Structure 1
Amino acid sequence: MSVESAASPLRYKRLAYVALNVSDLARSTAFYRDLVGLSVSESCEAFVALRCSRDHHNLLLYRGRQPGIKRVGFELDSVAELATARRELEALGLSVEALSKEELKALRTVDALRFRLPGCGLCIELLVQMMHMAEPYRPTVSKIERLGHVVLNVRDFQAAMDWLCGKLGFRVSDLVPEFAAFLRCHPNPLHHSFAILAGAEDHLNHINFMVTDIDDIGCAMNRIKKAGVEVVFGPGRHQPSESIFLYFQDPDGMTVEYSFGMEKFPEFGAREARLLEPVPATLDSWGSVPAPGFGKTGRIETPA
């Protein structure tokens, strides 16, 4: 299996936010605020916006019948790049949705577009210039550095790879052949902002928040256990990205990860992607084993 990424005019600044559907908006808001450590920046009829940065939001919670992922937002550098992205996506035969002025205003974003990843149907938003809040994000229970990444299970692994890397400009950092691909949104330097795993169904595997201190991992494990939250994997260390991790479940059973540390790549002259062995030690060199509920809950919202 090739790990090469085709040249693409799409240039990603970062993973900006994730939108989740939750069954109980108040319960999930309290969880992500009080146990995970995000700050609520806005609560309106349509959604609750939470942040771990100066951005208006890094996580949006919507009330939904089935828990899962609603969409993922990646930020580009400029409005001009967004126009280039629109032309490129339409040339690829994708249906591109323009956001209304009302929704852009509600999302505190200058401009954005949306399309769906063929196969799994994930809604991806490309945006520019999200509003920065006057007050900086102030860490509470954990020193969160940023929203780190999103991981999906996909039924057609190779088709997803062909789209993400062959057409949409993601770069492979590490690959477990026919099982897992860790992808960076080039030229963002983080080892991965998006990843896919082979699975029997298309669904969310987990979302990640990166912390600034290894003590945040240990403190989080004790904090969430005292709150009756299940730890479903870790603590441990990933061979890909070299990060120390802890996975636990939100009130709907969706998997959330804290991680500390991550390999970074230069825009030019980066190392080649590694082919990693498909064994448990690749995912955790410390030897922990995922619980049955790890990465199992999280429907991908698709059009009715």
Structure 2
Amino acid sequence: MGRLITHLRHVDLAVPDFDGQRDFYAGVWGLTEVASDTGLSFLAAVGSPEQYIVRLRKDAEKRLDLVAFGAQTPADVDALAQRLRTAGVTLVSEPGGLDTPGGGYGFRFFDLDGRTIEVSADVAVRAHRKVEERESVPVRLSHVVLNSPDLAATRAWYEEHLDFALSDTLSSPHMGDVMHFMRCNPQHHSLAIARGPHTSLHHISFEMRGIDEYLRGSGRLIRSGAKLVWGPGRHLAGDNTFSYFLDPHGNTVEYTTELERLDEDTWHPSVHDFSQPEVTDQWGTANPMNEFVARESFNDVDRGVFVAPPV
């Protein structure tokens, strides 16, 4: 059976300070609120056909609610659900109609670390447009990185059950492997798994139009007083630019651009030694990667592990 997952759709967060979080994403970060309900906000990127790329939900506890991926057809959704069921993976919901913006057909399940994952097909395409030159707002969702206490096991789970392929690995002589970049299409990574002390969100990344727009957006965030964790710089693995900031609840969010697209037939994964400065930042413009920078991305212990979100 070929790969059933096609791409990353959206990442959903729950937070106590809903209004502050909403103001950040719909304001300085540059997303557009397209739908809202009591304690729920759906935020889209102007350049993306996805109905929304971030959902915010008001909750007493901060958590990662959901990571959602797309599939080509309802039949693929059913096939994946059957495959996971047979493998003993816990399904949170059976395949059926979705009542989120754009509808569609999908289901939810827990991954190895207890995160809730959704896979859906037939979601209506949102009217979107080309992002203009110098327009420094996200074009689309780029990728999500998840912290796992068992890096190798989580990588193997995504390879076995969801057909993700390994693109590259970050490692160092004294720490061993710390990050696996995983793909579900020719984009270098839609998902990466980072070695963390606990299960949590590492960061959410947003694709900008180009280098100029990426830098303008980074500058706007710096001027807004948002905390710049790391950047601006350019990674070696994936060849993409990076500026990492903290949202009001301490989740790390990234502006990026020019993430590599691979020829999947010929690509061979490399192991990059991140103790070499040019691996973490080819340009040498970012602040040095150190334990303080790394710690910001560990995030808080996720309270949503093996607990499905209420909506």
Fold agreement, TM-score > 0.5: yes
Which residue does 2:213 correspond to in 1? 216
**Gaps (5+ residues) in structure 1?**
1-7
Which residue does 2:201 correspond to in 1? 204
Which residue does 2:142 correspond to in 1? 148
Say whether residues 1:302 and 2:295 are aligned partners.
no
Distance 2:130 2:40 in 1: 19
The two structures have a TM-score, normalised by structure 2, of 0.87
Which residue does 1:110 correspond to in 2? 104
Distance 2:10 2:181 in 1: 18
What secondary structure does 1:50 align onto? strand
What secondary structure does 1:85 align onto? helix
Contact 2:14 2:61 in 1 (8 A): yes
The residue type paired with residue 204 of structure 2 is I
What CA deviation, in whole Å up to 9, does each residue of 1:51-78 have, x standing for no partner?
1123221110011223231110000000
Equivalent of 2:189, from 181, 192, 198? Answer: 192
Say whether residues 1:261 and 2:258 are aligned partners.
yes
Which residue does 1:161 correspond to in 2? 155
What CA deviation, in whole Å up to 9, does each residue of 1:151-194 have, x standing for no partner?
01111111111101133200111012421100001xx2110000
Which residue does 2:89 correspond to in 1? 94
Contact 2:40 2:56 in 1 (8 A): yes
Q: Report the alpha carbon displacement of residue 266 of structure 1 after superposing the two structures with TM.
A: 3.3
What secondary structure does 1:32 align onto? helix
Q: Report the alpha carbon displacement of residue 296 of structure 1 after superposing the two structures with TM.
A: 3.0
Say whether residues 1:58 and 2:69 are aligned partners.
no
Contact 1:36 1:142 in 2 (8 A): no
Deviates more, 1:109-118 or 1:130-139: 130-139
Distance 2:298 2:241 in 1: 21
What secondary structure does 1:37 align onto? coil
Q: Report the alpha carbon displacement of residue 283 of structure 1 after superposing the two structures with TM.
A: 2.0
Distance 1:228 1:274 in 2: 37
What secondary structure does 1:109 align onto? coil
What secondary structure does 2:282 align onto? coil
**Gaps (5+ residues) in structure 2?**
172-176
* 1:19-34 correspondence runs (5 A): 19-34=12-27
Distance 1:298 1:149 in 2: 20
Q: Report the alpha carbon displacement of residue 246 of structure 1 after superposing the two structures with TM.
A: 0.5
Which residue does 2:269 correspond to in 1? 273
The residue type paired with residue 223 of structure 1 is R
Contact 1:181 1:195 in 2 (8 A): yes
Give the aligned length: 292
Q: Report the alpha carbon displacement of residue 138 of structure 1 after superposing the two structures with TM.
A: 6.5
Which residue does 1:182 correspond to in 2? 181
What CA deviation, in whole Å up to 9, does each residue of 1:73-101 have, x standing for no partner?
00000011111101111111112233686
Contact 1:25 1:63 in 2 (8 A): yes
What secondary structure does 1:221 align onto? helix
Equivalent of 1:125, from 111, 118, 121? Answer: 118
RMSD (Å) for aligned C-alpha atoms:
2.2
* 1:77-92 correspondence runs (5 A): 77-92=72-87
Q: Report the alpha carbon displacement of residue 47 of structure 1 after superposing the two structures with TM.
A: 1.4
Cα distance change on mapping 1:138 and 1:210 into 2, 3 Å: closer
Contact 1:67 1:299 in 2 (8 A): no
**In percent, how many aligned pairs have the same letter?**
27
Say whether residues 1:47 and 2:58 are aligned partners.
no
Which residue does 1:3 correspond to in 2? none
